[in-house]
Amino acid sequence: MARILILGAGISGHTAARCLGRWVGRQHQVIVVSPKPTWNWVPSNIWVAVGEMTESEVTYELAPIYKKVNVDFRQASALSIHPEGDAEHTKPFVRIEYTDPARVGEAESIAYDFLINATGPRLNFAATPGLGPETGHTVSVCTPPHALEANRRLQAAIAAMKNGVRQTLLIGTGHGMATCQGAAFEYICNVDHVLREAGVRQQARLIWLSNEYEVGDLGIGGVLITRGGYVTSGKVFVESLYLRTAVIWQFIRFWVIGYRVLKLMWKPHG
């Protein structure tokens, strides 16, 4: 019997776990290690962040699902991977620490025959000074708690607009390595929609701030959209949409280049 260890129960890890559980779960052992008890359909967080979906609609408990498909679930974080074992372990192993309230803080080593590392991307707010909900000054739509807070702040802005106070909403992505423009683009469209529904769109200045090479790149080198027999580039599509919905767009790179040029110009001599 082989042991397959999966780190992370996001879109990749959970898909792997469900398939492997069904295919080989009776003959072999499939273990999933992930710190949260729930699964999250991440793309739908953009609906939570405008109040059109609830947290419970985009998450569900992992343990009952894994029980059905022969997967052993450990609510824990992987701390380190040891593919060559060590003095005490002849087999490769992963060191984990439980986040499960019943075993919180307890550490364990899990030996494996096959490893799937699906711990996903790390949210790197710190790469852009001032960005992020925990240590910065912005909201995020990346996790359900972030999205709930984003919606709370959006509703407060809508309430202010209903009282006649104009608001500027800046939506986009961070530093040059952030490639989540697709999600940010969907979110700005959702915000435009809920502002119109609330009858306050005229009170809002909506700005798209992006590190894209050009608008419509969406972090994936652009897209081609087929509609009514015509193929339109992402650039033309998004530009037309923003012109129609009165979204102003700005590129971070111009700001960064401009800032660097100014810094050079102002550099004191000697």
Ligand X SMILES: Cc1cc2nc3c(=O)[nH]c(=O)nc-3n(C[C@H](O)[C@H](O)[C@H](O)COP(=O)(O)OP(=O)(O)OC[C@H]3O[C@@H](n4cnc5c(N)ncnc54)[C@H](O)[C@@H]3O)c2cc1C
User: Residues 127 to 146: which contact ligand X by CB under 6 A?
Assistant: 141-142
Which of 46, 58, 54 lies closest to 187, judged by CA? 46
Nearer to ligand X, 34 or 211 (CB): 34
Nearer to ligand X, 10 or 160 (CB): 10
* Of 12, 155, 233, 245, the one binding ligand X by CB under 6 A: 12
Q: Rule CB under 6 A: say whether 13 interacts with ligand X.
A: yes
Q: Rule CB under 6 A: say whether 71 interacts with ligand X.
A: no
Q: Rule CB under 6 A: say whether 10 interacts with ligand X.
A: yes
| Shortest CB 1 distance to ligand X, Å | 23
Q: Rule CB under 6 A: say whether 182 interacts with ligand X.
A: yes
CA–CA separation, 137 and 129 (whole Å): 9
* Of 180, 204, 215, 218, the one binding ligand X by CB under 6 A: 180
| Shortest CB 192 distance to ligand X, Å | 16
Nearer to ligand X, 75 or 203 (CB): 75
User: Residues 198 to 257: which contact ligand X by CB under 6 A?
Assistant: none
| Shortest CB 13 distance to ligand X, Å | 6
* Interface characters, 34-63, with ligand X (x: CB under 6 A): xxx-----xx-xx-----------------
Phi, psi (5° rounding) for residue 152?
-60, -45
Nearer to ligand X, 33 or 195 (CB): 33
Nearer to ligand X, 77 or 109 (CB): 77
| Shortest CB 88 distance to ligand X, Å | 21
| Shortest CB 115 distance to ligand X, Å | 12
Q: Rule CB under 6 A: say whether 191 interacts with ligand X.
A: no
Question: Within 10 A of 139 (CB to CB), how many other CB atoms are there?
Answer: 19
Question: Within 10 A of 35 (CB to CB), how many other CB atoms are there?
Answer: 17
CA–CA separation, 213 and 67 (whole Å): 46
Q: Rule CB under 6 A: say whether 183 interacts with ligand X.
A: yes
Count residues contacting ligand X (CB under 6 A)? 26
Residues of the shown chain interacting with ligand X in the complex, contacts defined by CB under 6 A: 7-13, 33-36, 42-43, 45-46, 77-78, 118-121, 141-142, 180, 182-183
